[in-house]
Structure 1
């Protein structure tokens, strides 16, 4: 294997990736690995007349992330249940792949309609098992945070909040979408 040094852009991207990773067990942290060199496979024997395949550019992470707290008007409307979703989607009964695809479709549709609030019904998470049992969540509910973070529309999501009980409570989420610029 031939080794080469990372460029400044690649090293910055690697460091951003390292900072974005959350440990599964927060108490078990290890020291970050140095990202100074990467291994590349040895190039095959040169053939005449062939052009090399261009490398795909690295994609930067979304520039904005959802806010934990919105302004007082939004907070008051969410707490009181006075918020009215512009659109809703129910992911019950779907496989993970199908639910993920439907969520992306719903986000695209909501953004094309200039909707501000999308209600996503994921289903209530099972109650926590105590006394040595495992705490589990529903599969869709467990994945939806990751799906939203890695979505092509992640920078258009202003906040993700648990819905008011009249809209599903713990079994649903409000996606507050940013306005177009």
Structure 2
């Protein structure tokens, strides 16, 4: 094998080579770059649970007092709710009333009315009956059927009158005029009616 002799560069070649080396950078000066696939997503720290000091009872917010809390129990039997634990009438007349032996001298039938209409009619009826000196008023609501609803913008469940009547009669505008409320005897409507025994007019 014949070794080739290195030829010396001419002055022109040296000048060209000098210009080339001035405009280029050596390969080892270029930093290698790394390619990473499927990087892990940045982890977001979870919100800390509020401490007990940060949580305040509802009664401490906005000045709400515990005694202002309202409890509504729709499961209460209106017949039991209407029974006063200590009857205001004398025992003899109260027993006669419950046995249907006292004839009502005023009567109101709320069948077919909405709750709003019934409430208005009842209020007027009690005021007029009391002013006229009536003593025993019979208010008929019907027993109602929870499977039926009245048609209208605000459907009313059948039986709502039966449940609402004792509460309406205990409102401040009517309660002072009433001595006793109790379910009517079977011959006067039974579970679908109430006796409202009015106080004497003064």
The structural deviation recorded for 1:137 is 6.6
Alignment equivalent of 1:148, drawn from 169, 172, 192: 169
CA distance in 2, matches of 1:91, 1:25: 21
Counterpart mapping for 1:19-98 below 5 A: 21-24=70-73, 67-68=84-85, 69=87, 70-98=89-117
Deviation at 1:143, TM superposition (A): 1.3
Gaps of 5+ in 1: 1-5, 27-65, 128-135
Unaligned runs of 5+ in 2: 1-62, 76-82, 147-156
Larger radius of gyration: 2
Q: Tell me the CA shift for residue 170 of structure 1.
A: 0.6
Match of 1:110 among 110, 129, 132: 129
Shift of residue 149, structure 1, vs aligned partner? 1.8
Please say if residues 122 and 141 of structure 1, whose CA atoms lie closer than 8 Å, have aligned partners that are also in contact: yes
Structure 1 counterpart of 2:119: 100
- Alpha carbon RMSD of aligned pairs, Å? 3.0
TM-score by length of 1: 0.57
More strand by share: 1
Aligned counterpart, 2:160: 139
The equivalent residue for 1:177 is: 198
**TM-score normalised over the length of structure 2:** 0.52
Aligned length: 123
Separation (CA, whole Å) in 2 of partners of 1:22 and 1:176: 28
- The alpha-carbon distance between structure 1 residues 151 and 119, as it changes in their structure 2 partners (threshold 3 A), is farther
* Per-residue CA distance 1:31-52 (angstroms, 9 max, x = gap): xxxxxxxxxxxxxxxxxxxxxx
Residue 120 of structure 1 corresponds to which residue in structure 2? 139
Runs of 4+ in 1 over 2 A off after TM superposition: 21-26, 66-70
In the alignment, is the contact (CA less than 8 A) between 1:161 and 1:175 conserved in 2? yes
